[in-house]
Structure 1
């Protein structure tokens, strides 16, 4: 167990994940779309949602709240549906000169949401040793109905920023998948509002300790670290207090908590004895 006194600036820098407002990252784009639209539907073959929700849930793995364009948000999954998806693989080739007879092309801006998301990271393709770049996407029935690429490609090329890129539907495959519905909630509009929210949702008072528990906390503060052993009943009972509270971050074995102790605020990192059972 480690306990370090914290400040408002420390909390803002360490308890929040910042999402750039002008991001081009395919990994972050679903998060940005969820925040900007308030909701977002994503298809995935994984039973685990992505992006993982950022909500304070005691006793489970959580991600940090998100700062985007000066405001603060949490994400949640409101609906999960198990269904059959079509996995589509595309080949996108390097741009070729446009000509009057090359009419079988479609503007990227007119593509459906799933089609455009599938090709976004492949336009322009980063060709090198091979002459094309691969891309893929997962389609449910509704997405296929809106698509001009799946189940059959209606066009030979995509035009983006004035460049014409040949595109080919390389393969399709039906797989077991999941559709997730994400919701974004704005929890604060300023730094001060966020800190107030953070203290309301995450901070807990470490009070009413036994002598053994208080000795552990004192050592964790003064020495920056406390190390217990398997038979340390005080450490086990103290750990149970933390595990019953929302964590700023947590995985199966460790976590970070926000506590108030004797009038001061601390970030506490804990690996409880329970993690070794």
Structure 2
């Protein structure tokens, strides 16, 4: 256990993950879309939600609340639906085409959401030894209906930033998949409001400790850390108290908690004896 005294600015930096407003990261885009729309869904062949932070983790919130465009949010997984998905492998040719070629081309901005996601990372395609860029995407039945790429390619090229790129459907495969539904909740509009929200929802008081538990907390503060073992009953009982409260960030039993002890606020990092059982 480690207890680090914290001020408001340090608490914000440790408790919040900032998402850029103008992100170009495909990893962060699903989070931005969830925040901006309030809801989001994602198709995946995996029986587990996509690893954080690309997609909100299962549970009441992401590993940390998010700051986006000056406001603060939590994201949650609200539903998981098993369904058949179509995996589409698509090729984007690295060589551009002249605008007067006899092809059926569409502007990238007019594509459906899933078609757009499928091609986003491949436009423009990388140049070099390869003649094409490969990409893949998962479609449910509703998304297939809106697609011009799958189940049959209805176009020959996609136009982006004035450049025309040939596209082709390399293969499709029917697979068992999952659709994950997420929701975003705005919990605060300013940093001060968010700090008040943290104190209301995450902070708990370390009071009523036994003498042995109090010694552990004192050592964790004064010596920067306390190291116990599986036979340490006081450490185990103190850990149970932490584990009964929501964590700022948590993975199984290990995580960071927001506590107040003897009138001072701390962020407590804990790996309890229970984690070694």
Question: Could you tell which deviates more after superposition, 95-104 or 199-208?
Answer: 95-104
Please give the root-mean-square deviation of Cα atoms over the aligned residues, in Å: 1.3
**Structure 1 residue 222, shift from structure 2 partner:** 0.5
Question: Could you tell which deviates more after superposition, 259-268 or 95-104?
Answer: 95-104
Partner of 1:64: 64
Question: Could you tell which deviates more after superposition, 124-133 or 213-222?
Answer: 124-133
Partner of 2:233: 233
CA distance in 2, matches of 1:95, 1:199: 56
Residue 76 of structure 1: SS of its match in structure 2?
strand
Partner of 2:56: 52
CA distance in 1, matches of 2:11, 2:253: 22
CA distance in 2, matches of 1:188, 1:52: 18
CA distance in 2, matches of 1:99, 1:37: 36
Residue 200 of structure 2: SS of its match in structure 1?
helix
Partner of 1:19: 19
CA distance in 2, matches of 1:97, 1:56: 49
Within 5 Å, give how 1:233-252 maps onto structure 2. Answer: 233-252=233-252
Partner of 1:111: 111
Note if contact 1:56-1:201 (Cα within 8 Å) is conserved in structure 2.
Answer: no
Deviation digits for residues 47-73 of structure 1, max 9, x if unmatched?
22231248657xxxx510010011001
Moved over 3 A (4+): 53-57
Structure 2: state its 5+ residue gaps: none
CA distance in 2, matches of 1:77, 1:99: 44
Residues 229 and 78 from structure 1, CA distance in 2 versus in 1: closer, same or farther, beyond 3 angstroms? closer
TM-score (norm 2): 0.95
CA distance in 1, matches of 2:160, 2:203: 49
CA distance in 2, matches of 1:178, 1:268: 36
Deviation digits for residues 4-52 of structure 1, max 9, x if unmatched?
1001000111111111000011111111111111111211111222312
Residue 155 of structure 2: SS of its match in structure 1?
coil
Question: Could you tell which deviates more after superposition, 128-137 or 106-115?
Answer: 128-137
**Structure 1 residue 252, shift from structure 2 partner:** 2.6
CA distance in 2, matches of 1:117, 1:56: 27
CA distance in 1, matches of 2:59, 2:6: 22
Within 5 Å, give how 1:84-163 maps onto structure 2. Answer: 84-163=84-163
CA distance in 2, matches of 1:113, 1:76: 22
